[in-house]
């Protein structure tokens, strides 16, 4: 199910040249901000929770997920070079699975790791906040990567749709309409984080069993459907 | 293997040039400014998907509708309830809808410049009479105009609605004028930032993500820091932090000079002194974006 050559090519496409720098700039900003906040405020559990929840989990993880998830397959389909990959005797679901693993790894490294470091800087993992948000970032990395990889195979405007989901649905509608929160990767991962942290600093609108089931279902279904889409992929002209 | 034919050496008096009737063009040449204007209007139409496929019309038109519908609803509410004032200031509207504006600039800036880079059509433009500066000016002006249409249309809806509801004419006109100045600056600033980022990458998708990342992450970071500064009671720091993201720049500028109420936490807008810094920052950023684009296309055009 895992093909090292495809993985190597995908890593190169995602992290080649200047791209790794841009991917690295976001986590760096998070760490810089948490250093500033720590210097201004001192160790405060509520501030740490707000910053990690608002900036890291709500904004940074989805954006890195979009870049890594759609970037793993989107550009190849866009410029048509995917036919060279598809004409090799490798199963299409294997290609998707390999690309998914790579996208998950990249999202995790660039979002969960900095979240953990920022959490340590902010309050030294008091009340398990750093660990809780790191777990949430890890869990949501998997779901986001699968979801956005599927978008990459479905649409040429995958990045826009991914961002509309991440920013408009989760942030805007999520804060206005309570029902939208039930269908949000962010809330599902917060449910897992709530379990880890205990207490009431990290809260979620979704229960843990529902969240876990939905996370698994979305990830598996998205991966399976992306494999199906790739099996019947037709290369259209520009737009 | 090519078979070598012995080439008969032509003897001198047999070669001649025949005139087979080709004529050189002696009609009017429309010149550089015409080409620039065409590029401008094509880019402006392209920013709303006109003259492109149906699929690429969907997103810009959808965002345009999303921008205007809340304004129409507000007007309807104001008329129905016979309110003395509109529920939202003209200057505040763009700040509230910033997510939509960011999405628009993120989706249209790369489609305007990245595709030219990817299909290597930039040298073709420069084989016409236009210069690097013309290309940059046309593209910048086109995107800024498109953004101005996007942000000014809801204001016009609000203004017309306010006049129909017989609200105070002088008051509404003043507010409308201030709103127009504010969205004009916003359009120039956002278009500049979007184009600079998009012109670096030939990949459209990557450009979109990079533009939206710059817009939202900087806003997220700035508003988080402002909220913390507000909670800590250091209100003097709030306006200075606001200098570091495009949305808060516009917000601060209009609350200092255009009579808007600030959306900063605690409603602490910059005073006049800090307001000057905001104006300088906005104008400096616009000039810097233009300069960076010129520098980028000096290299990329050849």
The domain limits of chain B are 32-300
Measured over the CA atoms of residue A16, residue A21, residue A26 and residue A30, the dihedral's sign is: positive
Shortest distance between the Cα of B135 and any Cα of chain A, in A, equals 23
Residue whose C-alpha is closest to residue A44's, from A134, A115, A114, A127 = A127
- pLDDT higher than 50, residue A1: yes
Shortest distance between the Cα of B131 and any Cα of chain A, in A, equals 28
Answer yes or no: are the C-beta atoms of A72 and A99 closer than 8 Å: yes
pLDDT at A105: 94
A239 found inside a domain: no
Q: How far apart are CA B92 and CA B105, in angstroms?
A: 19
Answer yes or no: are the C-beta atoms of B246 and A111 closer than 8 Å: no
Q: A22 vs B212: CB contact, 8 Å cut-off?
A: no
What's the pLDDT band for A141 if we cut at 50, 70, 90? Answer: very high
The count of C-alpha atoms lying within 13 angstroms of the C-alpha of B281, restricted to the half-sphere facing its C-beta, is 22
Higher-scoring residue by pLDDT: B300, A229:
A229
**DSSP 8-state secondary structure symbol assigned to residue A204:** -
- pLDDT higher than 50, residue A14: yes
A37 found inside a domain: yes
Give the Cβ contact number of residue B31 at 10 Å.
10
Q: A167 vs B227: CB contact, 8 Å cut-off?
A: no
A237 found inside a domain: no
Angle at A171 between CA A167 and CA A174, to 5 degrees: 130
Query: What residues of chain A lie within 8 A of the CB of B59, using their CB?
Result: 157, 160
Q: A75 vs B220: CB contact, 8 Å cut-off?
A: no
B90 contact partners, CB below 8 Å, separation of at least 6? B155, B158, B159, B175, B176, B178, B179, B180, B182
Answer yes or no: are the C-beta atoms of B206 and A79 closer than 8 Å: no
Query: What residues of chain B lie within 8 A of the CB of A63, using their CB?
Result: 209, 212-213, 216-217
Higher-scoring residue by pLDDT: A13, A16:
A13
The ipTM, to two decimals, is 0.76
Q: How far apart are CA B125 and CA B116, in angstroms?
A: 9
Answer yes or no: are the C-beta atoms of B39 and B135 closer than 8 Å: yes
Higher-scoring residue by pLDDT: A29, B9:
A29
Total residues belonging to chain A: 239
A236 found inside a domain: no
pLDDT 10s per residue in chain B (302 long)?
455 555 555 566 788 888 888 888 888 988 899 999 999 999 999 999 998 888 888 889 999 998 999 999 988 888 888 877 888 888 889 888 888 899 999 999 998 898 888 888 888 888 888 888 999 999 999 999 999 999 999 999 999 988 888 888 888 999 999 999 999 999 999 999 999 999 988 877 788 888 988 888 888 888 888 888 887 777 788 888 888 899 999 988 888 888 777 778 777 777 778 888 999 999 999 999 999 999 999 887 65
Listed range (A56-65, A166-175, B28-37, B177-186) with the worst mean pLDDT: A166-175
Mean pLDDT of A30-52: 83
Q: B53 vs A67: CB contact, 8 Å cut-off?
A: no
Percent of chain A with pLDDT over 70: 95
Largest CA distance in chain B: 99
Answer yes or no: are the C-beta atoms of B154 and B67 closer than 8 Å: yes
The whole domain housing A150 covers 4-231
**Chain B residue with Cα closest to A42:** B232
CA B229 to chain centre: 31
Residues of A with CB under 8 A from a CB of B: 19, 22, 26, 29, 33, 36-37, 40-41, 47, 50-51, 54-55, 58-60, 63, 66-67, 70-71, 74-75, 78-79, 157-160, 163-164, 167-168, 171-172, 239
pLDDT at A238: 47
Q: How far apart are CA B105 and CA B198, in angstroms?
A: 10
Q: B217 vs A67: CB contact, 8 Å cut-off?
A: no
Q: How far apart are CA A14 and CA A8, in angstroms?
A: 10
Q: B55 vs A239: CB contact, 8 Å cut-off?
A: yes
pLDDT at B1: 45
What's the pLDDT band for A142 if we cut at 50, 70, 90? Answer: very high
pLDDT digits (tens, 9 = 90+) for A83-133: 888 888 988 889 999 999 999 999 999 999 999 999 898 888 777 888 888
Of A55, A164, A172, the CB nearest to B221: A55
pLDDT at B7: 57
pLDDT at B148: 96
- pLDDT higher than 90, residue A33: no
Query: What residues of chain B lie within 8 A of the CB of A51, using their CB?
Result: 224, 228
Answer yes or no: are the C-beta atoms of B101 and B190 closer than 8 Å: yes
pLDDT at B68: 92
B197, B209, B232, B265: best to mutate for the A interface, most A CBs within 10 A = B209
Q: B212 vs A71: CB contact, 8 Å cut-off?
A: no
pLDDT at A8: 92
pLDDT at B11: 60
Answer yes or no: are the C-beta atoms of A137 and A61 closer than 8 Å: yes
pLDDT at A236: 58
Query: What residues of chain B lie within 8 A of the CB of A82, using their CB?
Result: none
pLDDT at B282: 94
Q: How many independent structural domains does chain A possess?
A: 1
Of A60, A157, A163, the CB nearest to B212: A163
pLDDT digits (tens, 9 = 90+) for A177-218: 777 778 888 888 888 888 887 767 777 778 888 889 999 999
Q: A158 vs B99: CB contact, 8 Å cut-off?
A: no
Q: B205 vs A158: CB contact, 8 Å cut-off?
A: yes
Of A41, A55, A74, the CB nearest to B220: A55
pLDDT at A235: 64
């Amino acid at each position: 199910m895992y093909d090292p050559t495809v993985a190597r090519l995908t890593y190169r496409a995602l992290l080649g040249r200047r791209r790794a720098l841009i991917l690295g700039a976001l986590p760096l900003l998070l760490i810089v901000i948490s250093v500033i906040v720590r210097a201004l405020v001192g160790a405060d559990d509520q501030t740490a929770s707000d910053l990690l929840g608002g900036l890291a989990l709500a904004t940074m993880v989805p954006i890195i997920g979009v870049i890594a998830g759609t970037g793993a397959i989107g550009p190849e389909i866009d410029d048509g070079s995917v036919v060279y990959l598809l004409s090799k005797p490798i199963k299409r679901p294997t290609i998707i699975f390999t690309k998914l693993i790579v996208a998950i790894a990249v999202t995790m490294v660039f979002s969960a790791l900095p979240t953990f470091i920022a959490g340590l800087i902010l309050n030294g993992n008091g009340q398990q906040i750093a660990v809780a948000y790191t777990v949430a970032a890890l869990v949501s990395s998997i779901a986001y990567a699968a979801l956005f990889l599927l978008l990459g195979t479905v649409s040429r405007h995958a990045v826009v749709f991914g961002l509309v989901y991440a920013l408009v649905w989760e942030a805007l509608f999520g804060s206005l309409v309570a029902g939208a929160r039930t269908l949000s990767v962010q809330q599902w991962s917060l449910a897992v984080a709530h379990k880890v942290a205990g207490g009431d600093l990290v809260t979620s609108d979704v229960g843990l069993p529902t969240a876990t089931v939905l996370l698994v279902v979305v990830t598996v279904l998205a991966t399976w459907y992306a494999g199906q889409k790739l099996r019947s992929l037709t290369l259209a002209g520009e737009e | 293997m090519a078979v070598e034919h012995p080439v008969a050496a032509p003897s001198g008096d047999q070669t001649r040039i025949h005139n087979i009737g080709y004529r050189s063009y002696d009609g009017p040449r429309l010149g550089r400014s015409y080409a620039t204007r065409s590029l401008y209007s094509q880019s402006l139409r392209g920013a709303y998907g006109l003259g492109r496929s149906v699929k690429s019309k969907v997103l810009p038109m959808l965002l345009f509708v999303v921008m205007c519908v809340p304004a129409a609803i507000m007007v309807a509410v104001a008329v129905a309830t016979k309110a003395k004032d509109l529920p939202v200031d003209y200057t505040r509207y763009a700040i509230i809808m910033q997510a939509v504006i960011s999405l628009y600039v993120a989706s249209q800036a790369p489609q305007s410049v990245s595709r030219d880079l990817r299909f290597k059509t930039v040298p073709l433009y420069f084989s016409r009479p236009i210069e690097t500066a013309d290309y940059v000016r046309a593209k910048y002006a086109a995107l800024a105009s498109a953004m101005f249409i996007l942000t000014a249309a809801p204001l016009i809806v609000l203004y017309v609605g306010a006049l129909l509801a017989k609200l105070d004419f002088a008051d509404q006109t003043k507010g409308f004028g201030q709103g127009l100045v504010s969205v004009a600056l916003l359009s120039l600033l956002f278009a500049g930032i979007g184009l600079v980022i998009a012109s670096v990458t030939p990949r459209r998708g990557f450009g979109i993500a990079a533009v939206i990342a710059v817009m939202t992450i900087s806003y997220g970071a700035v508003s988080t820091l402002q909220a913390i500064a507000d909670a800590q009671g250091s209100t003097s720091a709030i306006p200075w932090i606001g200098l570091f993201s495009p949305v808060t720049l516009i917000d601060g500028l209009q609350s200092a000079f255009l009579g808007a109420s600030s959306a900063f936490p605690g409603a602490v807008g910059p005073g006049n002194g800090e307001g000057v810094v905001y104006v300088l920052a906005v104008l400096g950023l616009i000039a810097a974006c233009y300069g960076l684009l010129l520098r980028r296309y000096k290299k990329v055009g050849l």
